[in-house]
């Protein structure tokens, strides 16, 4: 509709210019070589009627042009345009996440939806009420690469990121257009799939973008300017499998922060590439160690989670094959699935593991490094690592029920399940949690729902109105409101 307004405006301006030229020609015109004073009475009347009619047309056309002109006092209808607040102030915040842009469309999780994403970004760019665009993690995908493929293709992360930009040129052109125009601030918050990608490499493909990063690589939380009660982060900080792990594997891969979820995702990508094959081998049986204490119980729970994951994402290979090509995040060479699975030499005996040795004992330390405000018990973290509702619940735990937090609106991504809920915080105040969902082509976490985004509309300057939060779906380029809520600070 906005594009139609511009088309009408352009055509109207052309018509006005033509009418004015004709009007001036008529004013100066000599009829049969005679001046106006030499015309008969009847001729003078006809002349005046023609010129006055043209004048009326010009005046009406000018009025029409002024009425339709973008930026006038006539607002776009906020009931039908998600990026309109019904006025002229820029105060709206748009949040998207989990784009998962890849370097190779043969296995990238987003391909078909890229054109829809470009359309959305074009609408955001044209919107006169949008103040900020926030990308809440997993913009780039360094994880979803089939296990047998060399992620960097023998080169480095810089080259890999450049390849992502080249592969998705239309998307990055749209982002960069918004950044260059300078009317809308664009902010990137890291996710787990782009956890190790450096600020320099992000800036290399999105020059001028704001990056909301913690001191710990791979994490960040963003509160939009003037809105300290809004917190936007990816959500992987609270996930045992996906939070940065700067403790494990330092003897094997010095400086690594890659958590076990990285290796699971490489296996999952291979599963997809192999078209959901029958498993090449079953996971070796492990039994609890009754005499092992808490640590062994937790390692058994960790094994149980891996057993479920390998059954879910079966691969045709044997589990001892060195098929996972790394050369990413400090790792070199290749490893086997069995390197990730806890094992025991005798039934009921001690459990051990090669990669992530002792991970069950370092979760508290890991949370401290990752600045988790309210510590999550390790057994709960392991058992719920695959639960999207467990991540959603951390909005309450870390923010709403935390007496040290004044945050009232929280936006996560990560789970790929777009949703909105409200609850009372520890002070009895209404609080809103919303998950921004994902843009991947095939969303198995929430079948049929993708291309989702959040719009937050704070009160206009000088008012104490409610802050509105809306969740939208843009599947097949059709805008659908999924949920809405509001609160007053």
For residue 181, pLDDT over 70 is answered with yes
Question: Does residue 248 lie within any of the structural domains?
Answer: no
Question: Does residue 189 lie within any of the structural domains?
Answer: yes
Measured CA to CA, the distance from residue 326 to residue 258 in angstroms comes to 11
Residue 402 DSSP class: -
List the structure tokens of 200: 């320099």
> Residues 130, 200: one domain?
yes
Measured CA to CA, the distance from residue 395 to residue 410 in angstroms comes to 6
> Residues 13, 50: one domain?
yes
> Residues 392, 352: one domain?
no
> Residues 266, 179: one domain?
no
Mean pLDDT of 82-97: 97
Q: 50-59, 289-298, 373-382: which range is least confident on average?
A: 50-59
What was the pLDDT predicted at 62?
Answer: 41
Given pLDDT bands bounded at 50, 70 and 90, which one contains residue 145? very high
Q: For residue range 213-264, what is the model confidence (pLDDT) as tens digits?
A: 999 999 999 999 999 999 999 999 999 999 999 999 999 999 999 999 999 9
> Residues 205, 342: one domain?
no
Percent share of the chain, pLDDT over 70: 84
> Residues 64, 177: one domain?
no
231 Ramachandran zone, left/alpha/beta (phi>0; psi -120 to 50) = beta
List all residues 6 or more positions away from 374 whose beta carbon is below 8 Å from its beta carbon.
Answer: 397, 398, 402
Question: Does residue 75 lie within any of the structural domains?
Answer: no
Mean pLDDT of 66-94: 72
For residue 35, pLDDT over 70 is answered with no
Among 361, 394, 426, where does a domain finish?
361
Query: End-to-end CA distance of the chain, in Å?
Result: 34
Given pLDDT bands bounded at 50, 70 and 90, which one contains residue 464? confident
> Residues 137, 209: one domain?
yes
Question: Does residue 367 lie within any of the structural domains?
Answer: no
What was the pLDDT predicted at 76?
Answer: 56
What was the pLDDT predicted at 40?
Answer: 54
For residue 58, pLDDT over 70 is answered with no
For residue 73, pLDDT over 90 is answered with no
- Are 98 and 60 a contacting pair, CB within 8 Å? no
Q: For residue range 100-113, what is the model confidence (pLDDT) as tens digits?
A: 999 999 999 999 99
For residue 412, pLDDT over 70 is answered with yes
Strand spans (E) along 158-304: 185-189, 210-211, 221-222, 230-233
Average pLDDT, whole number, for the chain? Answer: 89
Strand 467-473 relative to strand 480-487, pairing: antiparallel
For residue 377, pLDDT over 70 is answered with yes
Question: Does residue 48 lie within any of the structural domains?
Answer: yes
**Helix or strand run (H / E) with residue 9:** helix 2-28
What was the pLDDT predicted at 77?
Answer: 66
Tell me the torsion sign for CA atoms 197, 200, 205, 209. Answer: positive
What was the pLDDT predicted at 350?
Answer: 97
Question: Does residue 126 lie within any of the structural domains?
Answer: yes
- Are 391 and 367 a contacting pair, CB within 8 Å? no
Look up the domain containing 149 and give its range.
92-241+373-487
Residue 384 DSSP class: T
> Residues 293, 398: one domain?
no
- Are 232 and 188 a contacting pair, CB within 8 Å? no
- Are 353 and 335 a contacting pair, CB within 8 Å? no
Q: For residue range 387-407, what is the model confidence (pLDDT) as tens digits?
A: 999 999 999 999 999 999 999
Q: For residue range 260-313, what is the model confidence (pLDDT) as tens digits?
A: 999 999 999 999 999 999 999 999 999 999 999 999 999 999 999 999 999 999
Question: Does residue 290 lie within any of the structural domains?
Answer: yes
Among 361, 393, 426, where does a domain finish?
361
DSSP character string of 29-81: --BTTB-GGGS-HHHHHHHHHHHHHHHHHHHHHHHHHHHH-TTSSS---TTT-
Torsion, Cα 351 357 360 366, to 10 degrees, reads 180
Measured CA to CA, the distance from residue 116 to residue 139 in angstroms comes to 15
Given pLDDT bands bounded at 50, 70 and 90, which one contains residue 460? confident
> Residues 341, 282: one domain?
yes
Measured CA to CA, the distance from residue 395 to residue 406 in angstroms comes to 12
For residue 328, pLDDT over 50 is answered with yes
For residue 481, pLDDT over 70 is answered with yes
Cβ neighbours of 456 (radius 10 Å): 24
For residue 199, pLDDT over 80 is answered with yes
Count the domains in the chain: 3
Q: 40-49, 181-190, 224-233, 364-373: which range is least confident on average?
A: 40-49
What was the pLDDT predicted at 53?
Answer: 52
Q: Which residue has the higher pLDDT, 41 or 370?
A: 370
Could you tell me the CATH number of the domain that includes residue 455?
3.60.21.10
Mean pLDDT of 361-366: 98
Measured CA to CA, the distance from residue 248 to residue 369 in angstroms comes to 13
For residue 124, pLDDT over 70 is answered with yes
For residue 44, pLDDT over 70 is answered with no
> Three-state SS for 394?
helix
> Residues 309, 413: one domain?
no
Percent share of the chain, pLDDT over 90: 82
> Residues 357, 383: one domain?
no
- Are 189 and 220 a contacting pair, CB within 8 Å? yes
What was the pLDDT predicted at 185?
Answer: 98
What was the pLDDT predicted at 78?
Answer: 72
For residue 483, pLDDT over 90 is answered with yes
What was the pLDDT predicted at 478?
Answer: 94
Phi and psi torsions of 95, nearest 5°: -120, 125
Measured CA to CA, the distance from residue 85 to residue 62 in angstroms comes to 27
- Are 68 and 10 a contacting pair, CB within 8 Å? no
Measured CA to CA, the distance from residue 1 to residue 24 in angstroms comes to 35
Summarize the chain as % helix, strand, coil (round to 5). 35, 15, 50
> Residues 346, 377: one domain?
no
Q: For residue range 12-34, what is the model confidence (pLDDT) as tens digits?
A: 444 445 444 544 454 444 444 44
Question: Does residue 78 lie within any of the structural domains?
Answer: no
CA-to-CA separations, 305 to 56, 271, 312, 324, 394, in angstroms, rounded: 78, 17, 11, 19, 20
CA-to-CA separations, 451 to 2, 114, 436, 471, in angstroms, rounded: 21, 10, 9, 11
Measured CA to CA, the distance from residue 58 to residue 224 in angstroms comes to 46
Among 336, 361, 386, where does a domain finish?
361
Q: 62-71, 140-149, 165-174: which range is least confident on average?
A: 62-71
Q: 31-45, 61-75, 326-340, 463-477: which range is least confident on average?
A: 61-75
């Amino acid at each position: 509709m906005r594009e139609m307004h511009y088309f009408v405006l352009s055509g109207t301006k052309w018509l006005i210019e033509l009418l004015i030229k004709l009007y001036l020609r008529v004013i100066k015109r000599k009829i049969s070589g005679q001046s106006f004073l030499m015309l008969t009475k009847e001729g003078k009347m006809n002349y005046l009627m023609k010129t006055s009619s043209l004048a009326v047309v010009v005046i009406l056309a000018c009025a029409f042009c002024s009425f339709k002109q973008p930026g006038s006092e006539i607002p776009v209808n906020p009931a039908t345009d998600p990026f309109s607040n019904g006025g002229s102030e820029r105060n709206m915040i748009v949040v998207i996440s989990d784009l998962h842009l890849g370097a190779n469309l043969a296995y990238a999780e987003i391909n078909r939806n890229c054109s829809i994403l470009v359309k959305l970004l074009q609408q955001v760019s044209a919107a006169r009420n949008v103040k900020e665009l926030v990308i809440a993690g997993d913009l780039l995908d360094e994880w979803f690469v089939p296990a047998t493929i060399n992620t960097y293709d023998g080169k480095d992360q810089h080259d890999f990121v450049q390849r992502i930009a080249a592969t998705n040129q239309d998307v990055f052109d749209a982002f960069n257009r918004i950044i260059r125009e300078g009317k809308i601030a664009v902010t990137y918050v890291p996710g787990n799939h782009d956890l190790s990608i450096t600020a320099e490499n992000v800036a290399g493909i999105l020059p001028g973008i704001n990056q909301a990063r913690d001191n710990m690589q791979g994490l960040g939380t963003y509160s939009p300017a003037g809105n300290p009660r809004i917190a936007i982060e990816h959500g992987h900080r609270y996930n045992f499998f996906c939070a940065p792990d700067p403790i494990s594997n330092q003897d094997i891969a010095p400086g690594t922060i890659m958590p076990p979820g990285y290796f699971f995702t490489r296996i999952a990508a291979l599963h997809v590439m192999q078209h959901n094959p029958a498993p090449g081998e079953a996971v070796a049986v492990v039994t609890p160690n009754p005499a092992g204490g808490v640590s062994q119980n937790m390692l058994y729970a960790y094994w149980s989670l891996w057993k479920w994951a390998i059954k879910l994402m079966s691969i045709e290979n044997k589990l001892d094959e060195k098929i996972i090509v790394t050369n990413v995040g400090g790792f070199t060479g290749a490893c086997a699935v069995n390197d990730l699975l806890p094992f025991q030499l005798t039934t009921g005996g001690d459990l051990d593991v090669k990669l992530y040795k002792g991970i069950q004992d370092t979760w508290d330390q890991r949370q401290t490094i990752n600045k988790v405000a309210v510590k999550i018990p390790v057994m709960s973290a392991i058992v719920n690592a695959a639960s999207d509702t467990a991540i959603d619940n951390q909005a309450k735990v870390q923010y709403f029920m935390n007496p040290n937090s004044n945050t009232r609106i929280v936006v996560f991504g990560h789970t790929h399940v777009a949703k909105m809920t409200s609850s009372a915080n520890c002070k009895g105040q209404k609080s809103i949690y919303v998950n921004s969902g994902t843009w991947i082509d095939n969303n198995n976490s929430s079948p049929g729902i993708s291309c989702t985004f959040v719009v937050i509309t704070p009160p206009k300057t000088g008012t104490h109105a409610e802050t509105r939060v809306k969740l939208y779906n843009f599947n097949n380029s059709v805008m659908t409101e999924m949920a809405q809520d509001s609160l007053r600070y």
